[in-house]
Amino acid sequence: MTTKKHACPTYPHFLHGADYNPEQWIHDKSIWDKDMELMQLANCNEMTVGIFSWAKLEPQEGQFDFSFLDEIIDRVGKNGGKVILSTPSGARPHWLADKYPEVLRVGPDGVREHFRERHNHCFTSPVYREKVQIINRKLAERYGQNPTVVAWHISNEYSGDCRCPLCQQAFRDFLRKKYDNDINKLNLAYWTTFWSKTFDSFDQIEPPGKYTETGLHGLNLDWRRFVTAQTMSFIENETAPIRELSPHLPVTINMMFEFYDLNYHEVSKVIDIASWDSYPEWHNGDDADIAQKTAFWHDLYRSLKKRPFLLMESTPSLVNWKPYNKPKRPGLDVLSSIQAVAHGSDSVQYFQWRKSRGSSEKFHGAVVGHDGTGETRVFRSVQKTGEVLKAIDQIAGTVTDAKAAVIFDWENMWALDNCQGYALAGKKYWETCYAFHKVFWQRGIDCDIVSPKADLSGYQIVAAPMLYLTDEETVENLTSFVENGGTLCGTYMLGTVDGTDLCWLGGIPAGKLKDVFGITAEEIDTLYPVERQHAQLFGKEHELVDYCEVIHPSSAQVLASYTDGYYAGTPAVTINSYGKGQAVYIACRDTGSMKDDLFDHLLGNIGLAGNLADSSLPHGVTAHSRTNGETSYLFLENYDPASTADVTLKQPMTDLLTGETVHHVTLPPYSFRIFKS
């Protein structure tokens, strides 16, 4: 039985397209003619339209004009393309802000914004919600059954928060519900007796901000949870008419890299497919590292819905909003697009199709530049990516069967930031999660990025770096993973605070995790940035930075010990058998080599091998797989800008692009190969 889970079941192929803003060229339709011609030439089969079109679609309140959208959807369809249709709530028309100022956001300083920029609406305002529903209903009525439309793109890059009176009220209601309308319950959860902060009533509570309370960690955490919940309710409000009128069309929102504001593990529950906008800073340092960090986010977006995702935006050349804006070097442009596919994307899409002539993004990379031709280096590489996607179309909808996972949690990140302790200037949570993901990436092992609440039963090995906030449900989830035979790797800070950011009492890690790991943790030595310490693992000394935790084994066996510090001779890494599985505790932060040796040992023990014959791959090389249950597809990528790499496949496989069957492969710099078996 073959399994396919197409991101867009409405179009079971790879999508290759871009954000398309034809409303910017309404005054010159010869540009539209040229666009259609160039789309075919670029091997593009999809355009995402309507993202910022509200001012054209509803130029005055209640006056609608869909003529440009009618024509564009028709033209794209006749041109052989598909459309992902966007709702326009990411940027509102002037009249709406003028007539109903409540739709404008109030910032952390309590000041209401003027009409400006985008992505800055109040997510509580009943007026904004109503106006968004009206335009979305009109769009769904008009285009929901249009065969050219294959999916809905809801708003754009939801982010940020608002502290207007309506949001304050909604926040208080959220807390009333959460704490059973009992202010004393909240006081205890927030530990408000500290510095005499006791609340007498929910009406006294304000969102944390520039001039309001920020010292109550539970409050800060609940604010972030509220912002996530309120954004989800805004999305549900937006999608209600769409789901009613076009239930067959999947709904997505475009998410972001290293995004802080919203817990995407939660937000993904109100959408059908995950999509994201990927803008790595290629060539700023080692491209292998940049590729691996980007891979982390591709893996995360695939894991959110456990199915193929969409690469919604990427630049075909450069962005214009970073301190330095370097075009992608030849080769890397196509390679970085195929990377998304290797990790489970069913699309390669760009921001943007055609460069705008004016305003903020006039120098942002685009498929078509101001020259208006198909004769640029960038255009040709987009053509090439389109050719590859056509040739490998059978891979669309195939899934990734990862046996390894890294836990990454937004709530944990917020709590770590709250926490006034350890190192104040950043605890490097993302970097630490990247370091664990790198172990798998470098060995060509597929890896999911999951929530601590995720079903872990399909994994052989799970790393839970710096899982400082560990609530009861997580304690249970981790415990049962190990009980049932999994290998769990926890680190320093595990199980320190509970779900309301109160410290666990009775020793850490929390509750029965002490038995699972067979250790207790006593204290953490925070190293100064220049300090280095060491630990010895399997007879070899490794460098440690930032954190060395002092732990005491109860039932665990010691794998590595500190060789300096006042804790020299005490355990730095332990392993404990528990139930049918084992729990490894890594008490310190190493600079890479200790993790490498440890995971070589663990992976050997559990028999988890990578996608290639050898797990020790040349620098910059990785291998990822997708499957339909019967046929496996293998992607080989080389991110080294200078070195050609030689690797050996597990067995002879057929190259999908050349048709040749090979066993040994030579990969030039910035190249990829795609095989089938």
Candidates 313, 411, 549, 637; catalytic one: 313
d(CA 212, CA 107) in angstroms, rounded, equals 12
The verdict on whether 483 is a catalytic residue reads no
List residues near ligand GLA by CB under 6 A. 156-157, 277, 279, 313, 319, 351, 361, 364
Q: Is residue 649 a contact partner of residue 611, using CB atoms and an 8 Å limit?
A: no
Q: Is residue 108 a contact partner of residue 209, using CB atoms and an 8 Å limit?
A: yes
Q: Where are the beta strands (DSSP E) in 35-101?
A: 46-49, 82-86
Q: Which is nearer to ligand GLA, 115 or 259 (CB)?
A: 259
Q: Name which of 499, 21, 3 is nearest 222 in CA terms.
A: 499
Q: What is the DSSP string of 604-621?
A: HHHT---SSS-SSPPTTE
Q: What is the DSSP string of 477-500?
A: HHHHHHHTT-EEEEETTTT-B-TT
Beta bridge partners of 534: 543
Instruction: Kindly give, in sequence order, each residue whose CB lies less than 8 Å from that of residue 184, ignoring residues fewer than 6 positions away.
Output: none
Q: Name which of 119, 133, 51 is nearest 85 in CA terms.
A: 51
Whole-number minimum distance, CB 55 to ligand GLA, in Å? Answer: 15
Q: Which is nearer to ligand GLA, 349 or 500 (CB)?
A: 349
Neighbours of 398 (CB within 10 A): 24
Whole-number minimum distance, CB 337 to ligand GLA, in Å? Answer: 15
* Dihedral sign of CA atoms 442, 448, 453, 458 in order: negative
Q: Are strands 82-86 and 447-450 parallel, antiparallel or unpaired?
A: unpaired
Whole-number minimum distance, CB 238 to ligand GLA, in Å? Answer: 16
Candidates 58, 157, 213, 549; catalytic one: 157
Whole-number minimum distance, CB 310 to ligand GLA, in Å? Answer: 13
Q: Is residue 226 a contact partner of residue 208, using CB atoms and an 8 Å limit?
A: no
The verdict on whether 238 is a catalytic residue reads no
Per 3-state DSSP, the chain is made up of helix, strand and coil in percentages (nearest 5) of 35, 25, 45
| Residue in the shown chain whose Cβ atom is closest to ligand GLA | 277
Whole-number minimum distance, CB 312 to ligand GLA, in Å? Answer: 8
Q: Name which of 275, 182, 174, 267 is nearest 228 in CA terms.
A: 267
Phi, psi of 597 (to 5 degrees): -65, -40
Q: Which is nearer to ligand GLA, 319 or 389 (CB)?
A: 319
Neighbours of 326 (CB within 10 A): 13
Cis peptide before 509 (omega within 30 of 0): yes
Q: Name which of 328, 267, 333, 332 is nearest 301 in CA terms.
A: 267
**Tokens 């528990």 belong to residue:** 578
Both tokens of 379, joined, read: 């255009």
Q: Name which of 253, 243, 231 is nearest 305 in CA terms.
A: 253
d(CA 70, CA 326) in angstroms, rounded, equals 37
Catalytic residues: 157, 313
